[in-house]
Structure 1
Amino acid sequence: MNRRLNLIFLKRWFMLLIIVAVAAMPLHAFAAEADSGADRPWMNKSLSAKERTELLLKAMTLEEKVGFVTGKVNNYYGFYNDGLERLGIPALQMADGPAGVRVANPDVQDKKSTALPAPIALAASWDTDLAKQYGDLIGQEAHDTTHNVVLGPGLDIARTPWGSRNFESLGEDPLLASGMGAAYVNGIQSNPVIATAKHYILNNQETERFTTNATASERAIQEVYARPFQAMVEKADLGSAMCSFNQVNGTYACENKEMLTDLLKDQFGFEGFIMSDYGANFSTAKSANAGLDLETPGEPYGKWGTQLLEAVKKGEVSEQTIDEKVRRILLQMFEKGLFDNPVTNTQINAKADGKQAREIAEQSMVLLQNNNDVLPLSKKELNSIAVIGPDADTASAAGGGSSLVNPTYTVSPLEGIRNRAGNGVEVKYAAGTDPISAGDAFNGPSAVPSTLLSPADAEKSEQNYGTDKAEYGLRAEYWTNTNMEGDPSLVRTDNQVNMNLGFYNYEGFNAQSSKLPVTPTEFNSKMSARWTGSITAPKTGDYKLTLTSLGSAKLYVDDQLLVENQGETLSTTKKAITLKEGESHNIKIEYRTDFPVQSSHDMGAQMRFGWEAPEDAVDVKMQKAVDLAKKSDVAVVVTRTYDSEGYVDRSDLELPNNQEQLIRKVAAANPKTIVVQMSGRTVEMDSWQKEVPSIVQAWYAGQEQGNAVARVLFGDVNPSGKLPVTFPSDDSQTPISTAEQFPGVNGVGTYSEGIFVGYKGYDKEGMTPAFAFGHGLSYTDFDYRNLHVKNTGKGDDATVEVSLNLRNTGKVSGAEVVQVYVGNLPTSVETPEKQLAGWAKVDLKAGKQQRVKIKLDRSALSYWDEKSHEWVMPKGKVSVYVGSASDDVRLTGSVNIGSPSGK
């Protein structure tokens, strides 16, 4: 009896333990067990990704497969493809990049994430560990804001110095872009998130980017433009690539079998999937058979969906081809953990992630010039600082378009400098010019300053010129038709006539300053406008008044037609006029979007009322800045450009909106003028570089830009950034110099420079840039000695290693980027005079020395042979150059190389 009771007791005790254990199990354990059952065997985590992919593929119907490879778009949720609840397939939820996560859904964390420095800034750090950290942060925030695919990095080579989307690139050199890009991708994909390398391929301009036929040699594609994509495959297990809008040698990129299948998939061994850019697929069977795997999005722009299903039924596309697309996508989803780690909406750590953004920005800043050691600033030697610049008091310096991120918080340069200067140093601000806007994205003379303009019906009095008027600008009337018919839909005062609507005026796609009025999107396509008021010259002299427009524009002065611009293409018309100081003239400007191209909501109004003025014509706002600079110990002029994805690249390199004149006038008033340049592209400095002692290239530095700038200026951070692009002396001294090369003629852009892109082209043409590729100064000095170059290995395993002693000979700690270039390959084939072959970033304390070892990249010692269609390493002696920039060689040597073939 007792034995029976004991057995009963033991059974109950055992059951209780089971109940307790089961209760303690997480819910997902049940789901995993259920999903690994007979109904969903592909959810069994013990199987390989390929095994799980094949099991799931067999369970899908043809209709489900076609739906799976046909993406969709939603204004709130961004790009995605449909998941399949029946089979437990999660949707691909995509976030624009590549400078952070662009959250489109208003229900997710108020659409905010960490705004990181632009990728071009990251490239300026030349730090692959930092690039991995950058990617990891993006991957984490993507996953925690409900996204499992990031549309980045951008691997488009910065072919021209004025590219409006250069800020999204990783520079002009394919080896630098490869190294930084691979680290970036590895960082993203260390999370359950797929990275997407874009835009494949020859997508190197915004002007006519939707239609241009980019024609390049096989060698240029292999050695320059495709190399970063190859590196992502070989060094980062890239999950996805995005094909571009443009044609490549006569065939649209997203239906180009030679580029998609033959090169990327077959030659490079890419196992991921290729998606189209938004609306970049123009065919059904052709793109499907060429190697496109996912159309992004579907309707209304798409050619897949029901059309692709019909093509399969007609035999135009095989079901095996569809299977291969699905297989590629599923494989990446399993390999990268998308099935097993669903996305979440987990609040990101704004403070911690913001700190990372600041640290990245600090490492990216390039000290271009520092005469007389004006920098770093010393608080002990300062009583007053003048901070000057149109947007120095805001944190709006960022690239526009799809990469624009809504930051969790911002720090302006003015705020950062004030905080760092602290008590005892007076920091005052003056704008100097009007705010930078999307209107500054296109060419043409700067806009007429607002302080010279008075709106119609405003009190007109010569006595009030030069004082703070209640209102500057012109009375503006807007219509939603092209003939100014009926009552205007909008009436307001515009400080300047400097407008760029359409694509640049959508919520989340513009980067306009908070100082600028918001124009309703109803004016984004067909519209007309009239501006009325008066203009008062600040100085007697000869002026040119200009109209820059796409669409017709007329300028009347005192009721007489002075300037008429047809505007069939974006162009400028100017007319000379003599104006007397303080004398007001009535003006009227009429503008219409009356060309067919402007019927689209993307290609909207583009209009600027500009001027070319005498150097001594200084308006009120600029004079206030000059006066402030004159009475301050130091003047910090923060300039910026407006760079954005869209429809135009500037073809000049000038600072917009009268900023060049501002620098010159401030520098004349204060010999200790520091220029902090915030841009995503190169800027011409010829007219003011010699007038200022110090220039810092701060790029678009992200949401912590103000603190990062201040810490570099005050020496808390020793700048170590190096230029990833060449800064030409002016826009006429570049290797891309003909209309055939850029933007192209009759829709064809000819890459006639071949492999000689960036600094390699400057060397070939004998052009001396303002600042060379790889240039960047420090607050300390570095000594290079004892170079040794040796071969190791044989045949395909052969490598070249460079070693040297690097010593910090200054008084402060710092980091140096040791750059190795090779040249004079022993072959009759034309090769670059110098080509980057490797680099190392080295941190050294003052007085310390380190032996630095760098293995050279084989591609720099080889060339692509268009006859044999392979890489060839010629036999013979190669020159080796080691230094601090492409034009700052400290040590030279040589090495014998050679392939077994002897070619």
Structure 2
Amino acid sequence: MAGTPGTSPADRAREAAVDAALGKLDLDAKARLLSGQDMWSLPALPEIGLESIVMSDGPIGVRGVRWTADDPSVALPSPTALAATWDPELARRAGTLLAQEARRKGVHVLLAPTVNLHRSPLGGRHFEAYSEDPCLTGLIGAGYVRGVQSGGVGTTVKHFVANDAETDRFTVDNLVSARALRELYLAPFEFIVENAHPWGIMTAYNTVNGTTMTEHRYLVNEVLRGEWGFDGYNVSDWMAARSTAGAIEGGLDVAMPGPQTVYGEALAQAVRDGKVEEAVVDGAVRNVLRLAARVGALESADPAVTELPGTVDGIALAREIARRAFVLVKNDNQALPLKPGTVALTGAAARDARVLGGGSATVFPARIVSPLDGLTAALPEGTLSYAVGADPNTELAVADKGFALRAVCRDAEGQVIGTGSAPNGQIQWMGSDLPEGVTHDRLHTVELTGTFTPRETGLHTFGAKGTGHFTLTVDGTTHYDDLQGPADDSDPFEAFFGAPVPRATAELTAGEPVEVSLTHTYALPEGFPFEVVAFALAHLEPQRDADELIAEAVEAARAADTAVVVVATTDRVESEGYDRKDLTLPGRQDELVRAVAAANPNTVVVVNSGSPVELPWRHEVAAVLLSWFPGQEGGAALADVLTGAYEPGGRLPTTWGSLSDAPVTQVVPEGGELPYTEDVFIGYRAWEKQGRTPSYPFGHGLGYTEWTYESVEVDGTTATIRLRNSGERAGREVVQLYLAPTEPGPDRPARRLAGFAGVEAAPGETREAVVEIPRRAFEVWDEATNSWSFVKGSYEIQVSRSITDRRLTATINV
């Protein structure tokens, strides 16, 4: 593929151009190139024909350099959803679309994919990673990287390594055995480097075994670059780099963001003082110039991709991924697809869809199709009713529906120096991303002002998100005029990810607009490394009596042929910046499901979360469908699946169960350290070792047809499985192959995923699935020799529909 290290004449020509460009740079220019010039880019060096390299957050879309709904992006389903498709080719297509989006926004490098593992279900950012299993993670991640880079855009595989929780993420020292590192946490990175050749890696905030990752010479220089042959660039997570000499000697090429970093002038001075060899700096610069050459940002070099892929329909692909990601974990009496008749739809997330997780993965789609929108369009007129039922959103959120706002910028004398649009109540202007005529030097206040037209009558709550001085006025009354401090000063991104604070209440009438204003006095926290204006106007609708809401939903469900309940997590449950405290659904949603199910035995529950939640009512309902965070077309895809236009195609990429049964739950460090005491036993490996039964096992998922597994033949390490669609409609099956040593012993998992393949067939048709078992499936990491050890012996090949649903077996001796 494009970008395979140094094999083709084009690769050699690019390398020659890189060397020539490097030879023209003085020390100061080199050091400057390794330091972000702002939040998202590296400086241009016109003297060598180098343009500024622009990076952007992913992984579900390409936000670009502007954090605003003014600059919309396609929003695909979450990474857990993409992994639930068990389809690396679909991941490649997703990557191809994102490269198209990146080029549209002038972005050279996408800061994705995230290939950390679901070590514990309490990880708050797991929606942004793929799976608990390194094999599935590696295959999906490699497909994604191939797709993005086929479009001439670089990837940055993150977060290297063991960045598996959010608590104290800047300071935690994760203590991980060499074996667990190699067999689990490093494994997806190794597979992707070997098979997809990413152009970038991002090193994490955390420390591993006593060394912070931005200075981890062994894992970066010896393992990543040395053993694996990685030749891309290595960038810090934002604000992760702490030491000039330590970072450059530890293999960190780029310190982001800028302009204040440990590189730049500090790095040049370290060379002059004899603390760092200039040859080490040259190595880092060469990696950055190689990246520039590959993405077409170095004038003297041909880019790695000269023929771009065809145009991808983003809306159609978002809808396809969503429906193929939905996992039907229960379907009693063929409750799905929906039968003709009336449908009572319930749930706050059915109306106000939650399509993505919180934090740096946020993008702003031009449109969002909610479940209510999708079902209204798909079902016959007059057959659908809607009730809120139970609203888990009891905290303020960024002002959105009903608000018409603009931003007014003033100087210290109160003079207007510029205005900007505000599609919602959030302002996040980074670096030079300011309204025309506004500079950080002159900016004193930003006022979000406009009108709010309520959709409900009652007591509305308003507030502010961010730190600093705020003045809040609603309907002519100033309710707050004071400083608002950070809730937690250990995280420099509190203004971005912290919770809004309520500051005012007002009785308002539905349909009657009122004036609202939130003025923020601009002041950067001391020592903050980049210029940013970040705050938000927040709002909460009137909180109706929960008993009344549930009673309304029950009444509607009792009168309908089918009840569909959409339950969901919130931004305060699943987001970057913090871990989860439990796995329960917020608010009274569990109570809502039980009440509706008692009123209508034909109740279907749609679970709108990015990672596992407890489902204590699962035995009381007819069907349970997991929709993950389904992206902007989630509601349309949901209608496709519920009506039977398409079958749900997903299989679980991670185990779902109760917190009390979960084998690995420790995510909070003690004394700054977090020991991975479970070693190589996470996910299904740990559930099996401890003899615990989850709610739904890894790999589980139902479709709308049946499959008969007829035979398996093994030739060397290649398994050929023959299976037949024995149901009544076309479908897709994911054939999973697990490898089980005959005598695993206490220190090896009972079985592990070795590979998988998808097949499609019409009713009655037979298909063959071919799965090649890789050598690594037979190896363990030997800590005594610090090397891989091939374990000879007898193994059972288990052809399965999930980790617990084995259909065929065969024995192999190696």
For the criterion TM > 0.5, the same-fold answer is yes
Give the aligned partner of residue 393 of structure 1. Answer: 351
Question: How far apart, in 1, do the equivalents of 2:808 and 2:148 lie?
Answer: 37
Q: Secondary structure at the match of 1:881?
A: strand
1:72 CA displacement: 3.0
Aligned 1:93-492 pairs, distance under 5 A: 93-105=54-66, 110-300=70-260, 302-339=261-298, 352-378=313-339, 381-382=340-341, 384-423=342-381, 425-434=382-391, 436=393, 470-472=457-459, 491=479
Partner AA of 2:643 in structure 1: F
SS of 2:15's partner is helix
Cα distance, 1:471–1:604 mapped onto 2, change above 3 Å: same
CA change 1:489–1:316 in 2 (3 A) is farther
Structure 2 counterparts to residues 845-856 of structure 1, below 5 A: 845-856=762-773
Q: What is the CA-CA distance between 1:46 and the residue it aligns to?
A: 9.8
2:552 match: 624
Match of 1:568 in 2: none
Alignment-derived partner of residue 85 in structure 1:
46
Distance 1:180 1:438 in 2: 35
Q: Does residue 20 of structure 2 align to residue 55 of structure 1?
A: yes
Task: Give the aligned length.
Answer: 710
Q: Cα offset for 1:720?
A: 1.9
Deviation, structure 1 residue 690: 1.1
Q: Deviations over 1:742-786 (max 9, x none)?
A: 222122111111111100010001110000000001111111122
Render the CA deviation track for 1:406-449: whole Å, top value 9, x for unaligned: 102111110101111133x42121111235377799xxxxxxxx
| Uncovered stretches (5+) of structure 1, i.e. residues with no partner | 1-43, 442-467, 493-498, 513-518, 534-596, 610-616, 792-799, 898-903
Within 1, Cα distance between the matches of 2:264 and 2:722? Answer: 61
In the superposition, relative to structure 1, how do residues 500 and 59 fare at CA in structure 2: closer, same or farther (>3 Å)? closer
Matching residue's letter, 2:576:
G
Partner of residue 789 from structure 2, selected from 872, 890, 899: 872
Q: CA deviation at 1:645?
A: 3.8
2:608 to 656, 678, 684: 678
Q: Normalization by structure 2: what TM-score? A: 0.81
Q: Is 1:801 aligned to residue 760 of structure 2?
A: no
In structure 2, give the amino acid aligned to 1:634: T
Offset, 1:342 = 9.1
Question: Aligned pair 1:727/2:656, yes or no?
Answer: yes
Contact preservation (8 Å) 2:388, 2:553: yes
Distance 2:47 2:470 in 1: 55
Contact 1:112 1:406 in 2 (8 A): yes
Contact kept? 2:392, 2:569, Cα under 8 Å: no
SS at match of 2:156: strand
Cα separation, 2, equivalents of 1:602 and 1:882: 55
The residue number in structure 2 matching 1:669 is: 599
Aligned partner of 2:586: which letter?
Answer: P
Q: Which amino acid aligns with 2:599?
A: A
Contact 2:50-2:297 at 8 Å conserved across structures = no
Structure 1 contact 377–714 (Cα < 8 Å) conserved: yes
Q: Tell me if the contact between 1:358 and 1:707 (Cα under 8 Å) persists in the aligned partners.
A: yes
In structure 2, distance between residues paired with 1:221 and 1:439: 40
Q: Would you say the 8 A contact 1:436–1:640 is kept in 2?
A: no
Deviation at 1:333, TM superposition (A): 2.4
Match of 2:679 among 744, 754, 760: 754
- Comparing both chains, which one has the higher relative contact order based on Cα–Cα distances under 8 Å and sequence gaps of 6 or more? 2
Which residue does 2:518 correspond to in 1?
none
Aligned residue for 1:48, secondary structure, equals helix
For residue 105 of structure 1, report the CA deviation from its aligned partner. Answer: 3.0
Stretch deviating more after TM superposition (284-293 or 819-828) = 819-828
Determine if contact 2:354/2:629 at 8 Å carries over to the other structure: no
Q: CA deviation at 1:789?
A: 2.2
Code of the residue aligned with 2:239 in structure 1: it is: G
Pairs within 5 Å for 1:637-656 = 637-642=565-570, 643-656=573-586
In the TM superposition, structure 1's runs of 4+ consecutive aligned residues that sit over 6 Å from their partners are: 44-47, 340-343, 348-351, 437-441, 473-484, 499-505, 530-533, 597-605
Give the secondary structure class of the aligned counterpart of 1:324: helix
Aligned partner of residue 81 in structure 1, secondary structure: coil
> 2:627 maps to what in 1?
698
Cα drift, residue 288 of structure 1? 0.7
Q: 1:658 aligns with which of 563, 574, 588?
A: 588
> Given that residues 475 and 491 in structure 1 are in contact (C-alpha distance below 8 angstroms), is that contact kept between their aligned partners in structure 2?
no
Q: Structure 2 CA distance, aligned partners of 1:183 and 1:756?
A: 26
What is the match of residue 540 of structure 1?
none
Distance in 2 between residues matched to 1:708 and 1:816, nearest whole Å: 19
* CA distance in structure 2 between the partners assigned to 1:149 and 1:92 by the alignment: 8
Query: Matches of 2:229 and 2:395 in 1, distance apart?
Result: 41
- 1:718 corresponds to: 647
Whole-Å Cα distance in 1 between the matches of residues 668 and 533 of structure 2? 20
Give the stretch that moved more between structures: 255-264 or 763-772. 255-264
Instruction: Return the letter of the residue paired with 1:471.
Output: G
Q: SS state of the match for residue 660, structure 2?
A: coil
- What letter is aligned with 1:398? L
Cα distance change, pair 439–803 in 1 and its aligned pair in 2 (3 A): farther
Q: CA deviation at 1:872?
A: 1.2
What TM-score, normalized to structure 1? 0.73
Q: Following TM superposition, by how much is the alpha carbon of 1:709 offset from its aligned partner in structure 2, in angstroms?
A: 0.4
Relative to structure 1, the CA distance from residue 395 to residue 854 in structure 2 (aligned partners, 3 Å threshold; closer, same or farther) is same
In structure 2, distance between residues paired with 1:63 and 1:94: 22
CA deviation string 1:295-324 (max 9, x = no partner): 111234x21111111101111111100100
Q: Describe the shift of the 1:102–1:879 C-alpha distance in structure 2 as closer, same or farther (beyond 3 A).
A: same
Task: Report Cα offsets for 1:609-640 as digits up to 9, x if no partner.
Answer: 9xxxxxxx952222212211111111111111
Q: Contact conserved, 1:298 with 1:304, CA < 8 A, in 2?
A: no
CA gap 1:680/1:106 in 2 versus in 1, 3 angstroms:
closer
Question: C-alpha displacement at 1:110, in angstroms?
Answer: 3.5
State the SS of the aligned residue for 1:629: helix
Please tell me whether Structure 1 or Structure 2 has the larger radius of gyration of its CA atoms.
1
Contact 1:173 1:758 in 2 (8 A): yes
Equivalent residue number for residue 13 of structure 1 = none
Deviation at 1:96, TM superposition (A): 0.3
* 2:214 partner SS: helix
Is the CA contact 1:790–1:802 (under 8 Å) kept in the aligned structure 2?
Answer: yes
* 2:26 is equivalent to residue 66 of structure 1: no
Question: After superposition, what is the alpha-carbon deviation per residue over 1:829-873, rounded to whole angstroms, capped at 9, x for unaligned?
Answer: 721101000100111111111122211122221111111111111
* Post-superposition offset of 1:892: 1.7
Give the superposed CA RMSD: 3.6
After superposition, the C-alpha distances for 1:362-407 in whole angstroms (9 at most, x for unaligned) are 11110010011100013xx21x211111121133331111111110
CA distance in 2, matches of 1:180, 1:676: 25
